[in-house]
Structure 1
Amino acid sequence: MHRRHPYHPYESANLPGDEEENIVFRDAEPDAPDQARAAEEMAEPFPEAEAQEPLFGQDSLRELEERHRAEMAELHLRSAAEMDNFKKRLAREHEEKMRFAAEKVLGDLLPTLDNFDLALQYGSKDDACKDMLQGLAVTRKLMLEAVARHGLKPVGEEGQEFDPAVHEAVGFEAHSDYAPQSVARVLQSGYRLNDRLLRPAKVMVTP
């Protein structure tokens, strides 16, 4: 018996009796234009990826490398110069500290030196103090030599031109042997520690 499926255009196989029915499906064949189009698509090669241009050319990369090397060299030189300046500054500060390390101690000795000067000045008027004054003069000389080894030196001598940087004028006093604006007499010696003035000399100045 041969009949068609009620819903699909399929053909059924002839079977003995009506006990079993087999349905045979036939695939629809593609149209010729579709087959040709598919063949063309398969035959076409895949498009090759376009070559990307580098972000920087060889010349640009070389310039960047040279600039980087130049900057690193400049940074190295600057760092070396800063380190050298730092070492020199430390050396100067250390030297300055050592030069004036004894400033306080030597400053405390100035009143003692002043007393020696006063004793020699007023004791010279009394002949009874002659022998004692000789001992004081030797002691004063030895003390000045000792402090001079540490950079302390007296400032202010009679006959010098008056210098307000190292002299403190107390008054005027005429002196025939000295020119005007000269130190006529030293009332109190001044002292300098190396290049630093610890105390100006108090003097009388010729008019």
Structure 2
Amino acid sequence: MSDENASQDETPEIDIAAAEPVIDPVEALRAENAELKDRVLRTVAEMENLRKRTEREVADTRSYAISGFARDMLSATDALSRALMVLPADARENADATTTSLIEGIEMTEREMQRLLAKHGVKPIEAEGQKFDPHRHQAMFEVPDPTRPEGTVVQVVQTGYAIGDRVLRPAMVGVAKGGPTQAPDVAIDKSV
């Protein structure tokens, strides 16, 4: 029994650290205000980024929406160009009026297609004499030419086209091989 009396006489200990501290309501509101302000600023920044990204995507869509159509039109334009190239010069000179009209019609159609492509931002890629760029050119063959710097485009087999900064079709080219690795920038005076 003495154990029972001993346990009843003991007073429970109070843990002061476990008691909740008194929170100042003003400080609590300031902390909540700061948190909400931070969340609002982050949301505003996120919305601004979303707006800019959407504007960029819309601009890209406007610029590049016709890429597939333009690529298909290049095939038709190439066919017209090839038709004119295979026609011998003497056949043009000695052609009757009907054939001359047909040739002129094909030439006008090809020029108009080129004009319309350019109007919509499709431009030919300059390749002849340029340094070979695998992003804009497709090497078809190498030409041994010690007079040209190695890696220079010396012949264009098929013109390449780009819309804006995107390549629709790379230029098919022949590239110099065997020349100096870099074009000389300055003439060296060896008489000194």
Q: TM-score, normalised by structure 2?
A: 0.67
Aligned residue number for residue 22 of structure 2: 56
Structure 1 188/98 Cα, relative in aligned 2: closer, same or farther at 3 Å? same
Alpha-carbon distance in structure 2 between the residues aligned to 1:133 and 1:183:
32
Aligned residue number for residue 148 of structure 1: 118
Q: Classify the secondary structure of the residue corresponding to 1:170.
A: strand
**How far off its partner does 1:186 sit?**
1.0
Whether the 8 Å contact between 1:187 and 1:202 is mirrored in structure 2 is: yes
Aligned residue number for residue 191 of structure 1: 161
**How far off its partner does 1:93 sit?**
1.5
Q: CA RMSD in A?
A: 2.6
Deviations 1:112-166 (A, max 9, x none): 121233234333x523225676664444333212111211111243222221111
Structure 1 170/134 Cα, relative in aligned 2: closer, same or farther at 3 Å? same
| Greater relative contact order structure (CA < 8 Å, 6+ sep) | 2
134, 156, 160: which is aligned to 1:164? Answer: 134
Whether the 8 Å contact between 1:120 and 1:137 is mirrored in structure 2 is: yes
Instruction: Report sequence identity in percent.
Output: 33
Deviations 1:56-81 (A, max 9, x none): 36xx2222111111111111111111
Q: Unaligned 5+ residue runs, structure 2?
A: 1-19, 94-99, 178-192
Aligned residue number for residue 206 of structure 1: 176
1:90 maps onto 2:54 in alignment? yes
Q: Classify the secondary structure of the residue corresponding to 1:173.
A: strand
Number of paired residues? 151
Q: TM-score, normalised by structure 1?
A: 0.63
1:80 maps onto 2:50 in alignment? no
Structure with greater Cα Rg: 1
Alignment of 1:1-207 (within 5 A): 56=22, 60-123=24-87, 125-129=88-92, 136-174=106-144, 178-207=148-177
Structure 1 85/193 Cα, relative in aligned 2: closer, same or farther at 3 Å? same
**How far off its partner does 1:177 sit?**
7.3
Q: Classify the secondary structure of the residue corresponding to 2:35.
A: helix
Q: Classify the secondary structure of the residue corresponding to 2:55.
A: helix
Aligned residue number for residue 14 of structure 1: none
Structure 1 117/169 Cα, relative in aligned 2: closer, same or farther at 3 Å? same
Q: Unaligned 5+ residue runs, structure 1?
A: 1-53
